[in-house]
């Protein structure tokens, strides 16, 4: 029989994340949002507690968690601050291609230093002219002896301004489209790596996002992940793993918005009684509650499917897409319940709306998630 | 140094408690029991002493049904305790403190040579503060309460003790039992790998002895939650003078804070 209860082990991990989120992250969330500060001290603490490289196996010093436990942790962190969560889990995204496609030697050499000391990695797929169309990357990788020379630019890269390592997707031949895409790991210290400025963003302002330019960057062939042309599939398999935690991140934002709205509705009075006693508000709160529950259960189901060895492409696309739409909707309704106060930066809910918005865009825009969902669905009927 | 910390599972601070059917205690059903407050500081103190005296070992001991003891013992191991012992007893949430102390003392004795037994000043739920001194009596150890900042120095302990309007500085030989004052030491947070390891750590189990007629027999007769708080009273006023007059009248006549 299916079981929705958490094991004591899972509960103890969730409790750790909850404690960290509420005592270390939440007190700084508003300030980091206002000033767009990257709170490195918080990320260092997250690393020290083992909350950073959640997907890296314990043999390399990581936390070695399954996707379900990762999701429990990510939801708790995002409840306190979406932006800090993005920066905390960006290593999981950047290191996943090495977990999926690295040789044992590459895994040991590259992953271990990330676990033994605080360091950030960044996943470099998106380019100024290719986001969802990942097969159209223009960054070139030209073979030169026992190395490759990389030229091109990546943009909107989470943690890029602070990362020491980049996982880069480049093409050995643009004519080959997605069959030319090849993955490399490139240390920031390599000559020709130019890190752009931290972008000003609408939300996730405690996270840093920037561009990385590769100007005749020489990368030894030993730092290529899998073979030439294997990069597109590697990127897609990576996103199959990391999409579900974005559902959890969105669920955390939605839960925070619901909690703020419900507490406020019980306190705020209009027409002689708390607004929670007006049906107009009750219906909003009920719809928000439905959305949060559904987002969480879809996320748990996707994680459970993948942890049991399933591919989970359909489930994770549904979860990411639904939860991020739910987060935007619930945050929007929370602002509506707060009324004018909700629109003010002094209150916490407008930040949730700005943070929720990104979850519809990154790690596969929701339009792509719907295309994937439709493709998987139709395949079952054809 | 062999250090024992006696830890009590107490309801999580955010728990919504309700009375059990008999109205004699809170109903433990659905309540999450955690290592909290004073006991967390006691574990931290033990771990600091261990760090300062390499080769020391810290043992955690708890009493109660396994559902309650195991979580606090695993939490203690995750923080750095070396071993854990559960005294399994189907005791009510409020259990006679002298009987509890005797059970804990038996368990501590079972650990062999012990230099220091630590207790939180009192538990975070009933706040009785009786078990530490009663267990010390049962162990035949001297007991000092309200202690802060224990330091080990060549077989002796130095510590401070809060007293009214000041502080005493003490030095005492081992073995000793100590009741620790509140969280002065900013307890550490267990890391994720340590939590995962603690889930698989063995917990030694002892059955509790037969009821001891000589050990106190206090029984909680009634458990009731405090009445709901009355809402705040808003003062309506047109001038500050009027507000002040109304406030003083309320404080004098209703709240009775001045004659």
Whether the CB of A48 is below 8 Å from some CB of chain B: the reply is yes
Question: What ipTM was assigned to the predicted interfaces of this complex?
Answer: 0.87
Of A258-267, A299-308, B98-107, the poorest mean pLDDT is in: B98-107
Q: Which residues of B touch A16 (CB under 8 A)?
A: 189-190, 192, 195
Q: What is the pLDDT of residue B253?
A: 85
Q: What's the gap in Å between the CA of A58 and the closest CA on chain B?
A: 8
A56 reaches B (C-beta below 8 A): no
Helices (H), chain B: 37-52, 66-79, 97-109, 131-139, 192-200, 240-249
Q: pLDDT of A164-183, one tens digit each? A: 999 999 999 999 999 999 99
Per-residue pLDDT for A187 more than 90?
yes
Contact B71 A8 (CB under 8 A): yes
Q: Is A116 on the interface with B (CB under 8 A)?
A: no
**Residue numbers of B between 23 and 52 with CB closer than 8 Å to A:** none
d(CA A279, CA B237): 33
Q: How much is the mean pLDDT over chain B? A: 88
pLDDT value of position B228: 78
Higher-confidence residue of B204 and B163: namely: B204
Torsion angle, alpha carbons of A92, A94, A98, A101, to 10? 100
Asked if residue A205 has pLDDT above 90, the reply is yes
Whether A127 shows a pLDDT value over 80: the answer reads: yes
Give B46-66 pLDDT, tens digit per residue: 999 999 998 999 999 999 988
Q: Is the dihedral of CA A280, A281, A285, A291 positive or negative?
A: positive
The reply to whether A51 touches chain B by the CB within 8 Å rule is yes
Which residues of A belong to the active site? 363
Rounded CA-CA distance A306/A312 in Å is 5
Instruction: Please state which of the ranges A8-22, A123-137, A208-222, A266-280 shows the lowest mean pLDDT.
Output: A123-137
* Per-residue pLDDT band at B211 (split at 50, 70, 90): low
Inter-chain CB pairs, A–B, below 8 Å: 33
Nearest CB to B190 within list A8, A16, A63: A16
- Report the 10 Å Cβ neighbour count for B106: 17
Q: In chain A, which residues have their Cβ closer than 8 Å to the Cβ of B198?
A: 12
Answer for the pair A278, A219: CB distance below 8 angstroms, yes or no. no
CB contact under 8 A, A16 and B71: no
The candidate with the shortest Cα–Cα distance to A57, out of A68, A66, A44, A45, is A66
**How far is Cα A281 from Cα B7, in angstroms, rounded to an integer?**
45
pLDDT at B124: 74
Q: Calculate mean pLDDT across residues A219-230.
A: 97
Residue B214 has pLDDT above 70, yes or no: no
Question: Residue A333: how many CB atoms within 10 A of its CB?
Answer: 23
- Give chain A positions within 8 Å (CB) of B196: 9, 13, 63
Q: How confident is the model at residue A134 (pLDDT cuts 50, 70, 90)?
A: confident
Tell me the average pLDDT across A92-109. 97
Region class of A78: left (phi > 0), else alpha (psi between -120 and 50), else beta: alpha
B189 to A20: CB separation less than 8 angstroms, yes or no: yes
A264: closest CA among A336, A192, A321?
Answer: A336
- In a 3-state reduction of DSSP, which class is residue B83? strand
The answer to whether residue A152 scores a pLDDT higher than 70 is: yes
B190 vs A contacts (CB less than 8 Å): 16
Asked if B196 lies within 8 A of A19 by C-beta distance, the reply is no
Structure tokens at A247: 């559902």
Question: Are B193 and A50 in contact (CB < 8 Å)?
Answer: yes
Length of chain B: 259
Mean of pLDDT values over A102-117: 96
Question: What's the DSSP call for residue B175?
Answer: S
- Contacts with A, B 74-113, CB within 8 Å: 74-75, 78
B154 to chain A, closest Cα gap in Å: 33
* Residue B213: band (very low, low, confident or very high) from pLDDT cuts 50, 70, 90: low
Contacts of A69 (CB under 8 A, 6+ apart): A10, A13, A54
């Amino acid at each position: 029989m299916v079981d929705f209860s958490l094991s004591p082990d899972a509960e103890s991990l969730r409790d750790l994340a909850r404690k960290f989120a509420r005592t270390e992250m939440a007190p700084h969330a508003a300030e980091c949002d206002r000033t767009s500060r990257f709170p490195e001290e918080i990320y260092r603490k997250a690393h020290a507690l083992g909350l950073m490289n959640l997907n890296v196996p314990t043999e390399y010093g990581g936390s070695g968690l399954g996707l379900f436990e990762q999701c429990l942790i990510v939801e708790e962190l995002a409840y306190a601050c979406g932006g800090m969560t993005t920066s905390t889990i960006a290593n999981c995204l950047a290191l996943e291609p090495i977990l999926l496609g690295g040789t044992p030697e590459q895994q040991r050499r590259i992953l271990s230093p990330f676990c033994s000391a605080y360091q950030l990695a960044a996943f470099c797929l998106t380019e100024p002219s290719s986001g969802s169309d990942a097969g159209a990357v223009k960054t070139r990788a030209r073979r030169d002896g026992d190395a490759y020379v990389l030229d091109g630019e990546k943009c909107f890269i989470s943690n890029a301004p602070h990362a020491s390592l980049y996982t880069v997707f480049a093409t050995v031949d643009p004519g080959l489209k997605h069959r030319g895409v090849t993955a490399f790991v490139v240390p920031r210290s390599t000559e020709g790596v130019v890190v752009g400025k931290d972008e000003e963003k609408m939300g996730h302002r405690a996270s840093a996002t920037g561009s990385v330019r590769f100007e005749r960057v020489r990368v030894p062939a030993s730092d290529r992940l899998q073979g030439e042309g294997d990069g597109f599939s590697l990127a897609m398999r990576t996103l199959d793993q990391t999409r579900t935690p974005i559902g959890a991140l969105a669920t955390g934002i939605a839960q925070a918005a619901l909690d703020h709205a419900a507490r406020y509705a019980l306190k705020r009075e209009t027409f002689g009684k708390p607004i929670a006693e007006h049906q107009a508000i009750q219906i909003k709160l009920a719809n928000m509650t439905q959305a949060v529950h559904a987002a969480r259960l879809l996320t748990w189901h996707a994680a459970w499917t993948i942890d049991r060895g399933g591919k989970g492409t359909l489930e994770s696309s549904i979860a990411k897409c639904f939860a991020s739409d739910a987060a935007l909707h619930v945050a929007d309704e929370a602002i509506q319940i707060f009324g004018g106060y909700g629109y003010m930066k002094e209150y916490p809910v407008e930040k949730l709306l700005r943070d929720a918005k990104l979850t519809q865009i990154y790690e596969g825009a929701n339009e792509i998630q719907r295309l994937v969902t439709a493709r998987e669905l139709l395949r079952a009927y054809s | 140094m062999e250090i024992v910390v006696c830890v009590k599972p107490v309801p999580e601070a955010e728990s919504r408690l309700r009375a059990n059917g008999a109205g004699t205690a809170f109903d433990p059903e659905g309540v999450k029991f955690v290592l909290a407050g004073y006991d967390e500081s006691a574990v931290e103190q033990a771990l600091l002493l261990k760090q300062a005296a390499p080769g020391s070992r810290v043992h955690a001991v708890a009493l109660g049904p396994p559902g309650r003891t195991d979580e606090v013992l695993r939490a203690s191991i995750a923080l750095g305790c070396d071993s854990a012992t559960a005294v399994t007893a189907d005791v009510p949430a409020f259990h006679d403190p002298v009987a509890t102390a005797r059970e804990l003392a038996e368990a501590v004795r079972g650990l062999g040579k012990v230099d220091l037994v630590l207790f939180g000043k009192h538990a975070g739920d009933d706040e009785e503060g009786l078990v530490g001194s009663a267990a010390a009596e049962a162990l035949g150890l001297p007991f000092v309460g309200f202690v802060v900042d224990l330091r080990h120095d060549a077989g002796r302990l130095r510590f401070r003790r809060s007293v009214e309007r000041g502080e005493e500085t003490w030095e005492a030989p081992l073995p000793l039992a100590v009741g620790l004052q509140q969280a002065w030491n900013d307890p550490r947070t267990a890391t994720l790998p340590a939590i995962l390891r603690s889930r698989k750590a063995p917990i030694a189990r002892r059955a509790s002895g037969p009821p001891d007629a000589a050990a106190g027999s206090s029984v909680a007769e009634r458990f009731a939650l405090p009445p709901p708080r009355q809402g705040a009273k808003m003062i309506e006023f047109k001038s500050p003078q009027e507000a002040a007059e109304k406030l003083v009248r309320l404080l004098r006549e209703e709240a009775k804070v001045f004659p």
